[in-house]
Amino acid sequence: MRVLRVFKYVVLLVLALGIVVLSLANRGPMTLQLLPHDLATFAGYNQTIELPVFVVILAGVAVGLLIGFIWEWLREYRLRADAARARAEAKRLRATMAREGRPATQSEADDVLALLEGGKGQGRIAR
């Protein structure tokens, strides 16, 4: 367990150093335009901003990760909904068993163990 924690910190340190090296190597300015030049001239709107290259790279990675996380969360919605329905059904069945006076958990009334013990207890089978 401790080895995995150390490994995780080493990987994070290498990743952080990689980001720092990437940032230092790409400090030059880059001009970003909202619209292509011809379309901006036609529209009369030419919005530009000048940023270091590493900011553009890291922002692109961050936006890509965010889109991926949102996409995956939306894709797994059906699985989460099915799990919630199953939990609600289990809760409803436990409540029904409690109303009928039966134990709600398997360990309290295990029919197999009752048979192995010679038919004693609640799990006794009538013949």
pLDDT in tens, 47-77: 889 999 999 999 999 999 999 999 999 999 9
Cα gap 112→118, rounded to integer Å: 10
CA atoms within 13 A on the CB side of 16: 6
pLDDT classification of 112: cutoffs 50, 70, 90: low
Residues 50, 56 contacting (CB under 8 angstroms): no
Q: Residue 47 in contact with residue 34, Cβ under 8 Å?
A: yes
Please spell the DSSP secondary structure of the chain, one letter per residue: -HHHHHHHHHHHHHHHHHHHHHHHHT-SEEEEESS-HHHHHHHT---EEEEEHHHHHHHHHHHHHHHHHHHHHHHTHHHHHHHHHHHHHHHHHHHHHHHTT--SSGGGS-HHHHHHTTS-STTPPP-
Per-residue pLDDT, 75: 93
Residue extents of the structural domains in the chain = 2-75, 78-116
Q: pLDDT higher for 78 or 101?
A: 78
Q: What is the pTM of this model?
A: 0.58
